[in-house]
Amino acid sequence: MDLKAGTRLRSQACSAEVIVVRPPDRDVDLRCGGAPMVPMDGVVEHHPLDAAQAAGTLLGKRYADPGSGLELLCTKAGEGSLALDGAPLPQKDAKPLPSSD
């Protein structure tokens, strides 16, 4: 899938929706709940939620893959978890604030 910054995607297995913050440096296979993600205006073929990929996607959280550079922002929570090329897509950690001594 060719992803660009600002592309909005939705899951075919649950209610999750994301927006691409940083595109990957190569074509990737992005899935949620075991089913391929599709553009917001794309045709949704409702797939059953894969129980192995049902950890959930949290609203307002960022998910990133340092290997490809992909970064996503969840705009609507869902029951399915995100996966990139078959591997779980981890939630991005918040940057620590500097201490105020």
Strand partners, 20: 72
Residue 79 covered by a domain: yes
In a domain, 2, yes or no: no
Q: Is the pTM of this model over 0.85?
A: yes
Q: Judge whether 17 lies within some domain.
A: yes
The closest alpha carbon to 21, from 75, 67, 85, 78, belongs to 75
Instruction: Give residue 99's pLDDT.
Output: 82
Closest CA to 47 of 32, 28, 29: 32
- Tens digits of pLDDT across the chain (101 residues): 679 999 999 999 999 999 999 999 999 999 999 999 999 998 889 899 999 999 999 999 999 999 999 999 999 999 999 999 999 999 998 888 888 76
Cα three-residue angle 67-18-59, rounded to 5 degrees: 105
- Asked if residue 96 belongs to a domain, the reply is no
Number of domains in the chain: 1
Residue 36 within a domain: yes
- Examine residue 94 and state whether it is found in any structural domain, yes or no: no
Distances (CA, A) of 20 to 27, 39, 47, 66, 91: 14, 11, 22, 14, 14
In a domain, 95, yes or no: no
Give me the domain span that covers residue 75.
8-88
Is 23 inside a domain boundary? yes
